[in-house]
Chains A and B, each alone.
Chain A
Amino acid sequence: MIITSGRKVAFSVGVVAALLGSSAIAETIKWGAPRDIVSLDPYSYGDSYTINFLNHIYEGLVRYNRDLEIEPALATEWEIVSPTTWRFKLREGVTFHDGAAFTAEDVLASLERVSDDSSPLKGNLPAYKSATVVDDHTIDIELTGAYPLLLNDLTNIHIFDKDWLVANNAEKPTDVSAGVEGYATFNTNGTGPFKLESRTPEAQTILVNYEGWWDEPAHNLTRIEFQPIASAATRVAALLSGEVDFVDSAPVQDLPRLEAAPNVSVLERTDLRTVMLGFNRRDELVGGGENPMNDLRVRQAMQMAVDMELIHDKVMRGKSRNAGTLVAPSIPGYSEALDTPAEYNPEKAKELLAEAGYPDGFAFDFVCTNESYVNEEQFCQAIASMWSRVGLSPKLDIGPTAKQTPKRANGQADVYTIGWATLPMLDTYSILVQMLHTKEGNSGVFNWGGWSYPELDKLTQSASVELDRDTRLQMETDALEIARNELIMMPLHQQPMAWAISSDIGDMPQFPDNKPRMWYVTK
């Protein structure tokens, strides 16, 4: 075939490029988010939303795949050299966005930075003691003790370039108390699939495809425009008018309207977050007087008085999943045998209360927030009225999270709501050590009721150093069983989550941890 005109050549090249789906075609995704990220520095603020967004720019040694299983990322393999030492082989040929090569020095600098005393993310790598560079692509991580969940933690520890940190005087995380800004707050240099083009806080953050990414891209995006739109109604309007292609927080009440719109589709599922109620277990109630909730029968009565089916149908519009245990089905350590929701039996609830010596019920504070969980205000009101029906007198106290959290954390709540998704660890151990364990030392930070079950503590401690996965998960399941039998927490449901996308997006996998991962998205 003899081609005579240059235009024809250009034309056929264009056709071929289009057929091959080459990156010559600009695919922009406009993301309308409920809030802005707080900073470009992943170690600045304990905020998983920000950390996830920055995962498009920065990467960890390991990452979650489409099924939320851990797979190699910047590390290719690892071995446990001794109970407290893990050796990681690092991927070769990885370059940062500024062209610098990725080596073990970078990992060391990043681990030191995230574990610094002034780092708010220190708790994300709790077992870290030190790290030693073996050679350019091998590093040993030394832990404070045997610890099975290091990989889970490392999924969230983003790796910086050491030279870049040093050159910009950012080896240490920004310390708010010092009152001085840090370079990494405004600039980035990662190894991830996208690199930063520009950021205007509260207005727009633009990422573009990084051509030099080490992995084979599953996405075909050339540009991500991330725009926070705080007002839910405005966010939905922007999607309907085509100004954004994707919203990662669609209000439950607007879903029918979004589903009816021709250019929009809704992605729904239940979240990993299990919403539950906690009980005050100190000797006295907040308002004074003896605390009836230390009696298991009272707690059971309170559970039986609540009609979760009704809440599921009416308050959650059929979108939630009622729970019998404290973790969602996909969390390691979950057991189906424990996951039957409690029966609704108001008559028996009254009997139990009478049996425990409270035939006329008792008054207590019930602390909820108006924004932490999906439709929280409504389900709290529903639960309060159900309790009133069996003779209890809950004093419902609803307010913003920032206002309610100190009350709950300081034991100023008799019954309170709390949701737990086990993030970023994705393992039952997280809820055991943080919430169910006795409050002592670094454990039980979220044990807001002041309970203590030595047997559960023992199982948790054994699990924390058990390197055999199956044995460890069995221990965790046993601990969950104690929690269920003793009704330490009263599980309600896994809350629904909804994303909405414009119809010209091809593939958008939705993850139960409610984190959008654009490197899987095609348009």
Chain B
Amino acid sequence: MLAFLIKRSANAIFVMLSVSFIAFMIFRFVGDPVELMLNEQATQEQRDELRTRLGLDQTFIAQYGTFVVNAAQGDFGISFRNQQDVLAMIAERFPATFELVIVATIISLVVGIPMGVITAIRRQTWYAETMQFTSIIGVSLPSFVVGIGLILIFSVWLGWFPAFGRGDTVQIGWWSTGLLTHSGRMSIILPALSLSLFQITLVMRLVRAEMLEVLRSDFIKFARARGVPARILHFRHALRNCLMPVVTMTAMQIGGLIAFALVTETVFQWPGMGLLFIQAVTFVDVPIMAAYLCIVALIFVLLNTIVDITYAMIDPRLRGAEK
């Protein structure tokens, strides 16, 4: 088991190094931060000087090396544009993204599981077919279109929810939460809904497939023969057996949602990490882009590693497969 853990950790470090290397490769093609940092009046000499001070005139390998050595010590430098500590900026925005993702996940489970069950046990009815059909639309609409649509209906026409922002927040230690104030709760609904749309469909289809699978199994047939009522049969026996893969998938998807929240955050001006990243790209703010990509990669790697280790603990055969 120890050997397995060491192997997994080495694997994770290798992934992180690769991600940061590829990210650094990409930055060379994003543009030139110096052109944006100085304004119209700056002279060529001042531009060159700034380039030298930022180390942008060094070779690619030297720049990457410096970055890795600093990043390993948790130092990502300060932003070119905001001149704030990059790690602090990301930490400040992480709660907003995390709350958005968690609320979206809860919505997707609360809506997706019942829909999955209904479409499984009431096949061929008109409403199950309608749900199936609308779920396809939900998957195919790009999230910015969904976001703008929600804003148009619920903010402009009905005036129920705010169109942008996070409302009032409360500080709890370093964590800022919007869930404790009325305006914060109102603000999170639309972006979370827009982010969860894709997820709802995913959960629904997974639950439906698993349900159909379980309903065909022998123990359900026996239970039915014993005269167990349909409701108990469906929800006690069948659904319980479906939830394990749903939980696993949800955990795996959280990383994805954190990464893909950036479109939703841009539409709703949600002050999370994704919005920070998008604006960093606009201004070629290399320190922020590098740190963000590394942190998102780290979240993915951690989630995957945890899942792998858990599985390996449950099933010793998987450890052997690693060799």
Contacts and interface: CB of A to CB of B under 8 A. Distances in A.
Interface of A: 35-36, 38-39, 41, 44-48, 117-118, 120-124, 126, 174-177, 179-182, 185-186, 200-204, 227-231, 233-235, 237-238, 240-243, 400-406, 409, 420, 423-425, 430, 434, 439, 441-442, 445-446
A176 B81 CA distance: 9
Nearest to B154: A241
A180 B38 contact: no
B156 A241 contact: yes
Interface of B: 29-33, 35-47, 49-50, 53-55, 75, 77-85, 89, 92-93, 144, 147-148, 151-152, 155-156, 159, 162-166, 266-269, 271, 275-276, 278-279, 281-284
Contacts of B164: 227, 229, 234-235, 238, 243
Given A176-B54, A241-B163, A234 B269 contact: yes
Given A120-B38, A238-B155, 11 more contacts: A39-B82, A123-B42, A123-B46, A126-B41, A229-B164, A234-B147, A243-B163, A402-B35, A406-B35, A423-B40, A445-B44
Contacts of A121: 39
A204 B165 contact: yes
A117 B52 CA distance: 13
A445 B43 contact: yes
Contacts of A180: 78
Contacts of B78: 174, 176, 179-181
A201 B280 CA distance: 13
A404 B282 CA distance: 12
Given A181-B85, A228-B269, A120 B45 contact: no
A402 B83 contact: no
Contacts of B38: 46, 120, 123
Among B41, B46, B80, chain A packs the most CB atoms within 10 A around the CB of: B41
The A interface is mostly helix, strand or loop, or mixed, namely loop
Contacts of A177: 50, 53-55
Contact of B163 (A44, A204, A234, A402): A234
Nearest to A46: B39
Contacts of A227: 164-165, 269
B35 A201 contact: no
Contact of A424 (B36, B41, B281): B41
A401 B283 CA distance: 9
Contacts of A44: 83
A65 to B, nearest CB: 23
Contacts of A445: 42-44, 47
Nearest to B282: A402
Contacts of B81: 38-39, 45
A185 B40 contact: no
Contact of B39 (A48, A200, A241): A48
A251 to B, nearest CB: 13
A242 B164 CA distance: 12
Contacts of A425: 41
A360 to B, nearest CB: 35
A243 B43 contact: no
Contact of A203 (B42, B147, B166): B166
A442 B45 contact: yes
A120 to B, nearest CB: 5
14 contacts: A46-B37, A46-B42, A118-B53, A123-B39, A123-B40, A185-B83, A186-B84, A201-B84, A201-B92, A234-B269, A238-B155, A406-B35, A424-B41, A430-B41
Contacts of B80: 176
B77 to A, nearest CB: 4
A388 B31 CA distance: 29
Nearest to B263: A231
B162 A243 contact: yes
Contacts of A441: 43, 45
Given A120-B42, A243-B155, A445-B42, A402 B84 contact: no
Contacts of A403: 29-31
Contact of B53 (A46, A175, A201, A439): A175
A35 B83 CA distance: 17
Contact of B279 (A35, A175, A200, A400): A35
B269 A185 contact: no
A401 B31 contact: yes
A420 B147 CA distance: 36
Given A175-B53, A234-B163, A243-B162, A405 B31 contact: yes
Contacts of B84: 39, 181, 185-186, 201
Given A241-B156, A243-B164, A231 B267 contact: yes
A242 B155 CA distance: 9
Given A46-B39, A123-B38, A230 B31 contact: no
Contacts of A120: 37-39, 42, 46, 50
Nearest to A423: B40
A477 B49 CA distance: 34
Nearest to B78: A179
A234 B282 contact: no
Contacts of A176: 37, 53-54, 78-80, 83
Q: Interface centre among A123, A182, A204, A228, by most B CB within 10 Å?
A: A123
A488 B54 CA distance: 34
Nearest to A227: B165
Contact of B151 (A35, A41, A126, A234): A234
Contacts of B268: 231, 234
A202 to B, nearest CB: 5
B47 to A, nearest CB: 8
A420 B45 CA distance: 21
- Identify which of A124, A176, A403, A406 gathers the most chain B CB atoms within 10 Å of its CB: A176
A155 to B, nearest CB: 13
Closest 8 CB pairs of A and B: A402-B31, A46-B39, A123-B41, A123-B42, A177-B53, A442-B43, A406-B32, A203-B271
Nearest to A37: B82
B235 to A, nearest CB: 41
Given A120-B50, A177-B53, A177-B54, A229 B269 contact: yes
A241 B80 CA distance: 35
B68 to A, nearest CB: 15
For A35, A230, A409, which residue has the most chain B Cβ atoms within 10 angstroms? Answer: A230
Given A38-B82, A182-B83, A237 B36 contact: no
A442 B47 CA distance: 11
Contacts of A35: 279
Given A120-B38, A230-B266, A39 B83 contact: yes
A403 B283 CA distance: 10
Given A122-B46, A237-B152, A400-B282, A45 B83 contact: yes
B200 to A, nearest CB: 23
